């Protein structure tokens, strides 16, 4: 099966149908109608085997993640995603792999009304590049720059889950390899198994906060998506804003599965906090807002069914400082880093 | 030097400055102003080491080609290029390589007023992905579909040069390797050397026909860029148009360097014709136009300093048939293919 047949079978049917696509897959380029009053938003991100994922990672998860990481960038701008290009470099055209990849990518594209309008398939070492374009009312995009001292610092969701899930997915992969050649080992208790699955799912199928990002326009003063870790990415946003921040580690949201699994697995509180602050791959939004927005933000989060947590305050100066309002738990040292996979 | 430092040093200064870039490199995504009355054009193409170029290929040429192949797609739509994203996967961050790569990419981006607005650097097996966006007056883009029986078939430039140059570049690479370990061999005569250099330059530094593509709006009925070979790509355009074509092999334009080098190297006329029809990597435009456009097209080509050649006629039916108006030179068999590198 050659490139054009693979595209016809797997990629041409993929994604949302949009009336603003004048010409999609199959010509030298796509033609797209940008509404008057909107700015175009463009981003790209890549997943490379051996760097962003291990050999043998499930193709369905890769299909989901390749789009999710780009949706998260669009969300951080307060924009709505529209059109994607997909460049897939594959060692060989395995139809089973392609079908699984598309089964991961297609539902996410449809859920966010993203049309696949072009791309290419090439032979080579496995990597997946998605370029995603979106739209935002002109002049209303969220940026990293814009925060001011006195504002509050927020994060969506529960960072740390994905980093824990990544570790567990890799451990599980190693265990599976080991089990294939050795005696079967004792299984985890069922509750730990459910927590483990929940955490692995947060890594393999991250949820980009697209609706939340769009709803933050006019409320947030600055926004960034958390891909490299909350501590690092908050620092980038505040650096771009010319401000500093204090994160209160006692306020960091920690999910029930992460709490429970960490307790059962004997992970230290320090290690769990490192996952939350520096684990990365969260694809949550970190943003700043004036204190008087607090109730509007919580009403918004409730409407959208999203969790947002005030984790600190924007201050004058530079850098992100960790403090704790709970005297029993000292924060990590400022600038502590974690064994960050792949960047 | 980490990713953000490399981006600051090599990529942030690269490309044209455009007033329609509201926000460029350095946030989660770029923000761009699309003028009212224009459609957005989006394309992407990738160069993979070992597939689209050999290990050790000159970085300067790769920088040029990575953008040129995308500019050619934009040209084939009759559009003007605007904004690019660059995703570079590199085994290691060699500054000498990056400087050469940018020295190939930057002048071409500036010549065509393309701003670099984002992208990423990742570690991994070498590949280069460019996503290029452009603008075209709404409803006026050229497409592959649109040709009608009775129209004339044209090609720009002199296809075949790049394929000859690719062969010579690879032979030269092989000779250089051989010479390093063995006795020096006799050099080519100077005139052959100049022809060889001209052909290699056509492969390493192809010229996308951007101004010609834009000028063909309203004149051409259908257009495609010739990347996989004139015969194959003409067939794609005519297939999309629901037509057939006859190419008169006696009309095919052959460059002076290709003629001269082929004669000196003892390449057969059949081999040279295969290079012209099926060699690929030409990045010329192949297009159709009504017969009454002939003089307007030639006036346009003269104004732009471009060569265009009528090579055949659009007919009813399907497929591309090769004929020859020169009884002394029979055409190749229809559908003959050449040792095509990499697709």
Min distance A267 CA to chain B CA atoms (Å): 31
**Same-domain pairing of B99 and B67:** yes
Q: Mutate which of A8, A29, A72, A84 to test chain B, going by most B C-beta atoms within 10 A?
A: A29
* Cα(B183)–Cα(A324) distance, integer angstroms: 73
Instruction: Say what the pLDDT of residue B192 is.
Output: 80
Cβ distance of B40 and A33 shorter than 8 Å:
yes
- ipTM of the shown complex: 0.91
In a domain, B147, yes or no: no
**Same-domain pairing of B132 and B157:** no
Instruction: Say what the pLDDT of residue B186 is.
Output: 52
Min distance A157 CA to chain B CA atoms (Å): 19
Instruction: Say what the pLDDT of residue B1 is.
Output: 64
* Cα(B257)–Cα(A222) distance, integer angstroms: 58
B95 φ/ψ angles, rounded to the nearest 5 degrees:
-65, -35
Contacts for A317 with CB less than 8 Å, ≥ 6 apart = A243, A244
* pLDDT (average), residues A292-320: 97
**Same-domain pairing of A158 and A131:** no
Q: Is A27 on the interface with B (CB under 8 A)?
A: yes
Helix, coil or strand: residue B82: strand
Q: In A, which residues are within 8 Å of B29 by CB distance?
A: 41-43, 73-74, 76-77, 79, 134
For the cut 50, the answer to whether the pLDDT of residue B191 exceeds it is yes
Instruction: List the end-to-end C-alpha distance of chain A, in Å, as a whole number.
Output: 35
Q: Is A93 on the interface with B (CB under 8 A)?
A: no
**Same-domain pairing of A228 and A269:** yes
Min distance A92 CA to chain B CA atoms (Å): 13
Contacts for B184 with CB less than 8 Å, ≥ 6 apart = none
Residue in chain B lying closest to A143 (CA): B27
**Same-domain pairing of B32 and B179:** no
CB B225 within 8 A of CB B76: yes
Q: B194: domain range?
A: 152-323
In a domain, B192, yes or no: yes
* Cα(B234)–Cα(B209) distance, integer angstroms: 16
* Cα(B187)–Cα(B205) distance, integer angstroms: 24
Give the confidence band of B176 by pLDDT, cuts at 50, 70, 90.
Answer: low
The domain tally of chain A equals 2
Instruction: Say what the pLDDT of residue B340 is.
Output: 31
Report the DSSP pairing between strands A38-48 and B30-32. Answer: antiparallel
Give the closest of B22, B41, B240 to A39, CB-based: B22
**b/e map A210-227, b = 16+ CB within 10 Å:** bbbbbbbbebbbbbbbbb
Q: Which of A55, A70, A160 is nearest to A108 (CA)?
A: A70
Helix, coil or strand: residue B88: strand
Q: Which CATH number goes with the domain that contains B102?
A: 3.30.1330.10
Total residue count of chain A as it appears in this document: 343
* pLDDT (average), residues A203-212: 98
Contacts for A8 with CB less than 8 Å, ≥ 6 apart = none
Q: What angle do CA A280, A281, A286 make, to 5 degrees?
A: 70
* pLDDT (average), residues B221-247: 97
Q: Is B91 on the interface with A (CB under 8 A)?
A: no
Min distance B274 CA to chain A CA atoms (Å): 22
CB A147 within 8 A of CB A289: no
Model pLDDT for residues A242-285, shown as the tens digit of each residue:
999 999 999 999 999 999 999 999 999 999 999 999 999 999 99
Q: Which residues 123-152 of chain A have a CB within 8 Å of chain B?
A: 123-125, 127, 129, 131, 133-134, 136, 138, 141, 143-145
**Same-domain pairing of B195 and B285:** yes
CB B284 within 8 A of CB B202: no
H runs (alpha helix) in chain A = 3-6, 59-76, 95-111, 161-181, 190-204, 210-215, 230-241, 256-265, 269-278, 294-304
For a pLDDT cut of 70, what percent of chain B falls above it?
90
**b/e map A301-311, b = 16+ CB within 10 Å:** beeeebebbbb
Give the relative orientation of helices B59-76 and B95-111 as an angle to the nearest 10 degrees: 30
**Same-domain pairing of A173 and A313:** yes
Residue in chain B lying closest to A123 (CA): B51
**Same-domain pairing of A160 and A268:** yes
Cβ distance of B133 and A134 shorter than 8 Å:
no
Q: How far is CA A149 from the centre of its chain?
A: 27
Q: What is the pTM of this model?
A: 0.92
Q: In A, which residues are within 8 Å of B240 by CB distance?
A: 26-27
Q: Which residues 282-341 of chain A have a CB within 8 Å of chain B?
A: none
Residue in chain A lying closest to B36 (CA): A36
In a domain, A340, yes or no: no
A342 φ/ψ angles, rounded to the nearest 5 degrees:
95, -5
Contacts for B35 with CB less than 8 Å, ≥ 6 apart = B20, B135
Residue in chain B lying closest to A120 (CA): B45
Instruction: List the end-to-end C-alpha distance of chain B, in Å, as a whole number.
Output: 35
Give the relative orientation of helices A190-204 and A256-265 as an angle to the nearest 10 degrees: 130
**Same-domain pairing of B172 and B231:** yes
Which residues are paired to B92 by β-bridges?
A: none
Q: Which of A225, A222, A227 is nearest to A245 (CA)?
A: A222
Q: Is A55 on the interface with B (CB under 8 A)?
A: no
In a domain, A147, yes or no: no
In a domain, A16, yes or no: yes
Q: Is A21 on the interface with B (CB under 8 A)?
A: no
Burial zone of B300 (CB within 10 Å; 0-12 exposed, 13-18 middle, 19+ buried): middle
Q: Which CATH number goes with the domain that contains B210?
A: 3.90.650.10
Number of neighbouring beta carbons within 10 Å of residue A17:
10
Instruction: Say what the pLDDT of residue B2 is.
Output: 78
In a domain, A255, yes or no: yes
In a domain, B83, yes or no: yes
Neighbour order of strands in the sheet with B30-32: A115-123, A80-90, A127-137, A38-48, B30-32, B21-23
* pLDDT (average), residues B24-42: 97
**Same-domain pairing of A15 and A108:** yes
Model pLDDT for residues A83-112, shown as the tens digit of each residue:
999 999 999 989 999 999 999 999 999 999
* pLDDT (average), residues A274-302: 97
Contacts for B214 with CB less than 8 Å, ≥ 6 apart = B75, B78, B79, B80
Instruction: Say what the pLDDT of residue B183 is.
Output: 43
* pLDDT (average), residues A166-189: 62
**Same-domain pairing of A46 and A191:** no
CB A17 within 8 A of CB A135: no
Tokens of A74: 């669009």
**Same-domain pairing of A41 and A169:** no
CB A289 within 8 A of CB A241: no
Cβ distance of B48 and A240 shorter than 8 Å:
no
In a domain, A233, yes or no: yes
Give the closest of A34, A74, A131 to B40, CB-based: A34
């Amino acid at each position: 099966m050659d490139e054009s047949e693979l595209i016809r079978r797997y990629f041409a049917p993929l994604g949302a149908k949009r009336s603003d696509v004048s010409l999609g897959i199959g010509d030298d380029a796509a033609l797209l109608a940008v509404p008057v009053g909107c700015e175009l938003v463009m981003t790209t991100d890549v997943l490379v085997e051996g760097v962003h994922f291990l050999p043998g990672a499930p193709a369905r998860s890769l299909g989901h993640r390749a789009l999710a990481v780009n949706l998260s960038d669009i969300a951080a701008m307060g924009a709505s995603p529209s059109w994607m290009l997909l460049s897939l470099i594959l060692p060989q055209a395995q139809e089973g792999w392609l079908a699984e990849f598309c089964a991961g990518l297609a539902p996410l594209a449809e859920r966010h009304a993203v049309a696949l309008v072009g791309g290419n398939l090439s032979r080579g070492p496995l990597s997946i590049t998605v370029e995603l374009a979106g739209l935002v009312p002109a002049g209303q995009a969220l940026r990293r720059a814009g925060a001011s001292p006195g504002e509050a610092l927020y994060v969506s969701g529960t960072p740390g889950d994905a980093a824990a899930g990544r570790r567990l997915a890799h451990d599980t992969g190693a265990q599976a390899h080991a089990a294939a050649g050795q005696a079967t080992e004792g299984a985890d208790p069922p509750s730990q198994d459910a927590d483990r699955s929940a955490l692995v799912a947060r890594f393999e199928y991250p949820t980009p906060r697209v609706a939340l990002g769009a709803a933050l326009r006019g409320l947030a003063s600055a926004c960034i998506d958390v891909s490299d870790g909350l501590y690092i990415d908050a620092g980038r946003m505040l650096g771009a804003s010319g401000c500093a921040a204090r994160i209160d580690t006692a306020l960091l949201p920690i999910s029930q599965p992460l709490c429970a699994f960490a307790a059962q697995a004997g992970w230290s509180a320090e290690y769990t906090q490192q996952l939350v602050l520096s684990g990365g791959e969260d694809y949550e939004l970190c943003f700043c807002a004036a204190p008087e927005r607090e109730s509007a933000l919580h009403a918004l989060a409730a409407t959208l069914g999203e969790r947002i947590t005030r984790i600190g305050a924007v201050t004058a100066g530079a850098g992100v400082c960790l403090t704790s309002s709970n005297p029993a738990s000292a924060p990590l040292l400022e600038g502590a880093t974690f064994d960050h996979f792949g960047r």
